[in-house]
Amino acid sequence: MRADRIETWARLWVPALVAGLALASIELAAMFDEPPGRSWTALGLYLINIYVIAEAIRAISRYLDRRVSWKNAGALRVVAQLGLSVAFACVYLLLIYVPLKLYEIAQGADDVLAWPHIAFTLLLALIFGTALAAFQLLFDFFRQWRAAQAEAEQQRLAVTRAELDALKAQINPHFLFNSFNTVYGLIEHDPERARSVLLDLSDIFRYVLLHNHLDLVPLPQELAFLEAYLKILRARHGEGLQVRVSGCDDVAARVIAPMTLQLLLENVVCHNDIESGPGLHVDIRCENDALTVSNPIRARRGDTRGTGSGLSHIQARYRLLCEREIRIERSADMFRVTVPLLPCAP
């Protein structure tokens, strides 16, 4: 819209500026003819003729937009537009000047139509046509540059959307795999509880179906989903897993990528020993527009590498959503992941 306004103003003022060149040529014209009258009528005629040439050159540009592509034949387009613009200006001014001069001679003016008159008219046409065509080419270049930028941005967004959708498609099987592992652990020794957990699991998947297609969800919804997921984890690990949430009421208006907390907690459970000892305490804290999940490191025995996709999914999603990285910190006895809390779109 801004480019359209600039072009509209240019269509009004550029011909007027070029008309100033025509008025400056009055004294030069007196070398071959009687000086034009310095009247408002003469000024109006100058302006009208220049505006006609300017609009015709713009029409030539729009016609060439359909015939000669800037992308495939840029040099040809410049030559064709300049050539047609100058040719039109020459023909137009000759069609205006010659009949008027012949009319003046027929009315008894002491003058003749000689080659200097024709040469000077063509010189003016060359100057005006080239100047107006150059301005039009400048705006055409600007318009093509803006269009190329918009196209590149649309392509970038399309690629980003495809990558984000691909990540979402991967999260569902990842979540399903871990959830059924949890239920499987209960079937042998506590079938009744397994049935109860399956009902809880159906509630969780209802949330997944309703929200996983979204890029961002309100933080309170994600926290409520986390509570439901904790029921399943506690069904398998007992009360050994303790989660404390603090400071998140102050940032309730912020949003987060759906299932981020579930993946972070899943990562904690996968890599730490929960059953033995005093259990594992996970701290979820919101401050400074960021959410941090931290836990003491209590490495499990055996292979705890998992699929390695949980944190990488979160990193990739935030990189695509807001071009901001999550922060992963590991010390000798503590593991901490911080994700940005984003402002809710108006």
Residue 62's contacts (CB-CB under 8 Å, 6 or more residues apart) are none
Residue type, position 330, single letter: R
pLDDT in tens, the chain (346 residues): 555 565 566 565 656 566 555 555 555 555 555 545 555 666 677 778 778 888 888 888 888 888 887 777 878 888 888 889 889 988 988 888 888 778 777 877 777 777 787 888 888 788 878 888 888 888 888 888 888 788 777 767 665 665 656 555 555 565 667 667 777 777 777 788 778 888 878 877 788 778 767 788 899 999 988 888 888 778 777 778 889 999 998 888 899 988 888 888 888 888 888 877 777 899 999 988 899 999 998 887 764 555 456 787 788 778 877 877 889 999 988 999 999 999 876 5
> What one-character-per-residue DSSP string does 1-56 give?
-HHHHHHHHHHHHHHHHHHHHHHHTHHHHTTTSPPPP-SHHHHHHHHHHHHHHHHH
Domain assignment of residue 182, yes or no: no
Closest CA to 141 of 203, 257, 61, 232: 61
Q: Domain containing 230: what range?
A: 190-340
Q: How many domains does the chain have?
A: 2
**What single DSSP character describes residue 214?**
S
Asked if 143 and 230 sit in the same domain, the reply is no
Asked if 147 and 206 sit in the same domain, the reply is no
Is residue 325 within 8 Å of residue 319, measured between CB atoms?
yes
Asked if 36 and 120 sit in the same domain, the reply is yes
What residues does 329 pair with on adjacent strands? 336
Asked if 204 and 73 sit in the same domain, the reply is no
Largest CA distance in the chain: 121
Domain boundary, last residue among 152, 178, 213: 152
Asked if 9 and 148 sit in the same domain, the reply is yes
Decide: residue 219, CB within 10 A, 0-12 exposed, 13-18 middle, 19+ buried.
buried
Domain assignment of residue 194, yes or no: yes
Domain assignment of residue 146, yes or no: yes
Tokens read off for 217: 């969800």
Asked if 133 and 210 sit in the same domain, the reply is no
Asked if 123 and 206 sit in the same domain, the reply is no
Domain assignment of residue 345, yes or no: no
Domain assignment of residue 220, yes or no: yes
Q: Is the pTM of this model over 0.75?
A: no
The per-residue pLDDT for 332 is 87
Which 3 state secondary structure label does DSSP give 344? coil
Domain boundary, last residue among 152, 177, 204: 152
Asked if 101 and 239 sit in the same domain, the reply is no
Domain assignment of residue 163, yes or no: no
Instruction: Give the DSSP H/E element, type plus range, for residue 245.
Output: strand 241-246
Asked if 132 and 230 sit in the same domain, the reply is no
Domain assignment of residue 169, yes or no: no
Residue type, position 318, single letter: Y
What residues does 188 pair with on adjacent strands? none
Task: Scan for tokens 């069904």, then name that residue.
Answer: 235
Asked if 60 and 198 sit in the same domain, the reply is no
Domain assignment of residue 171, yes or no: no
Asked if 125 and 209 sit in the same domain, the reply is no
Domain boundary, last residue among 152, 178, 210: 152
Asked if 147 and 201 sit in the same domain, the reply is no
CATH number at residue 310: 3.30.565.10
